Structure formats: structure tokens, C-alpha cells
Structure 1
Amino acid sequence: MNQSEERDKSMETANQSSIYWLILWGVVISVIGVFLRFAYDDMTLSIVSWVILFVGAFVACKGVFKILDAK
């Protein structure tokens, strides 16, 4: 494969809408975690909200790394 074909394939992979939906869902999950963090001052809810926040951040980072690794 020459450089132009490789670049075009990388661009197609990076522009897939499923990757951007993955990032969007990660951000939404993180926002829910942040909201729960400030909703009520309870130790259990606080721990659950931190877990939800980190899961959302992980999902969003997974989408970003899919874009960066598009080769």
C-alpha cells in the first residue's frame, strides 16, 4: 500500500461515527457520575459516583485512542 492509500484508510477509520458515539457516551456517563457526586452527601453514593465517573472517562479515552491508533 502506498502512503496515499494508507492515509485514506486511516482517515476512514478515524471518521467512523461509531467512534464519536463512543466518546459521546463516555462523556454522558462521566457527567452522570459528576452529578451524583454533588447530589447528596453520602459515602456510598460518593463511591458509586466516582466509579461511574471513572467508567465514563475510560469509555471516552477508549474512543480517543481508537482515533489516534487509526492506521
Structure 2
Amino acid sequence: MQSMENANAEKHYKLLVVAIVIGIFGVFIRFAGDENSTYFSVIANIALLIGTVIALKAVFDIMK
């Protein structure tokens, strides 16, 4: 039963919410920024990468 309790731990879902918010921020910056601006593109790519890594960490922690 310990595995079920670990999978249902609140910390995993809080981490997923943070990852989703970071990902949505990255998507917003990608489309809100100027098309010719490299800075917005770099910031969006970094935010999406960080959000993806956090989300994968949370999912693998749930599956553990």
C-alpha cells in the first residue's frame, strides 16, 4: 500500500502544476514576443525545456 500512498502524494501534483505553469509561460512568450526577436525565442525555449524536465520528473516520481 505504500506505493499507492506515494503515487497519491500531494507534492507530485503540486510539482506538475508548477511544470504546467512554466510551460504555459513558455508558450505565451513564444507567441507574444516579436517574430524577429531572438531573445523571446530563447526565453520561450528555455522555459519549455525547464517545464518539460520538471513534468517528467514528477511523472517518474509518481510511477516509482
Calculate percent identity across the aligned residue pairs: 37
Provide the C-alpha distance between the structure 1 equivalents of 2:40 and 2:21, rounded to a whole number of angstroms: 18
* Structure 1 portions without partners, runs of 5+: 1-7
Equivalent of residue 36 in structure 1, options 26, 29, 47? 29
Q: CA RMSD in A?
A: 0.7
- With structure 2 as the length reference, what TM-score do the two structures score? 0.92
In structure 2, the partner of 1:3 is: none
Query: Amino acid of the residue matched to residue 59 of structure 1?
Result: I
Instruction: Trace 1:1-71 onto structure 2 (pairs within 5 A).
Output: 8-40=1-33, 41=35, 42-69=37-64
Provide the C-alpha distance between the structure 2 equivalents of 1:25 and 1:49, rounded to a whole number of angstroms: 16
Residue-pair matches, total: 62
- With structure 1 as the length reference, what TM-score do the two structures score? 0.83
User: Where does structure 1 differ by over 6 angstroms across 4 or more consecutive aligned residues?
Assistant: none
Instruction: Please tell me whether Structure 1 or Structure 2 has the larger radius of gyration of its CA atoms.
Output: 1
